[in-house]
Amino acid sequence: MKNIIIILSKELKTYFASPMAYIVAAAYLAITGFFFVASVSDAFSEASIRGYLAGATFFMIFMSPAITMRLIAEEQKLGTLELLLTSPVKEAEVVIGKFLAAFLTVIIMIILSMYFVIILYIFGDPDTGPLFNGLLGLLLYASSTLAIGLFASALSPNQIVGLVVGSGILTALTIVDFVASRIQGIGSDILSFMQLGASFSVFDLGALGVAESGHFADFARGIFSITDVVFYISITIVFLLLTVIILESRRWR
């Protein structure tokens, strides 16, 4: 546990000692703010954060790999990964420490965006249950995307490769429900099970033939589902384990 805290502290300091965290946070607030304003601007709009959640999940496809791309790739490029792995630190501790640093960074961004919720309570009467359920879903979604981004970062010493691969995986998992709806038979069932993203937006996607479905869509509607919670936790654990396996393979090279 001590090693995890040390790695976590080091990575957090690195994040906020550079302009990267501030640029990503500003972009996150701008994107989610746009989606939120668009969703509550109509005369009879619903007092909810569904627009904010739509912008957040969309932006995290690119934001999460951007946050995690340097965590392991930079260590490989500088040659410090081998030094780290030969020290009395387990691969799992390295992965968990770096993952928690990225996750806390995202949590800080989400906290900064909570003024959207304050605005809703000032000018509207939102239902608190669905609101907090949506935020829970967003945290679970963020943990999954960060785990995938960290896995992509471990594949290559090139940060850009990690960004592209991570965003590619997340994009594929996000649109897989849309593809599954157009494939018949067992292929559709497999793709639907794999879906990570949410096929919903503040815009009228129904006109485009895209239904509101998927694991995150239930959270956005205010529906709490153990299946969806287990799904996101499973995705997070699987990709963190894959990252540990990659690091273990490098130790024995």
Phi/psi at 189 (nearest 5 deg)? -65, -40
Q: What pLDDT does residue 151 have?
A: 93
Q: What pLDDT does residue 239 have?
A: 94
**pLDDT of the chain, 253 residues: tens digit per residue:** 787 888 888 888 888 888 888 888 899 999 888 888 877 776 666 767 778 888 888 888 889 999 988 888 877 777 776 666 666 778 888 889 999 999 999 999 999 988 888 887 887 777 777 788 888 889 998 999 999 999 999 888 888 988 999 988 888 877 766 555 556 555 555 555 554 444 333 233 333 333 345 667 777 777 777 888 888 899 899 999 999 998 888 766 5
Contact partners, residue 33, CB within 8 Å, separation at least 6: 55, 113, 116
* Cα 113 off chain centre by: 16
Rounded Cα distance between 236 and 232, Å, is 6
Q: What pLDDT does residue 177 have?
A: 60
**Cβ atoms of residues 56 and 140 within 8 Å:** no
CB atoms within 10 A of CB 13: 11
Amino acid at 137: G
Rounded Cα distance between 68 and 105, Å, is 10
Number of domains in the chain: 1
Q: What domain range is 239 assigned to?
A: 2-251
Q: What pLDDT does residue 207 have?
A: 30
**Cβ atoms of residues 24 and 35 within 8 Å:** no
- Mind spelling out the 3-state secondary structure of the chain? CHHHHHHHHHHHHHHHHCCHHHHHHHHHHHHHHHHHHHHHCCCCCCCCCHHHHHHHHHHHHHHHHHHHHHHHHHHHHHCHHHHHHHCCCCHHHHHHHHHHHHHHHHHHHHHHCCHHHHHHHHHCCCCHHHHHHHHHHHHHHHHHHHHHHHHHHCCCCCHHHHHHHHHHHHHHHHHHHHHHCCCCCHHHHHHHHHCCCCCCCCCCHHHHCCCCCCHHHHHHHCCCCHHHHHHHHHHHHHHHHHHHHHHHHHHCC
Rounded Cα distance between 59 and 16, Å, is 20
Rounded Cα distance between 23 and 148, Å, is 21
- Residue of 85, 95, 83, 74 whose CA lies nearest to 151: 95
> What's the pTM value of the predicted model, to 2 decimals?
0.82
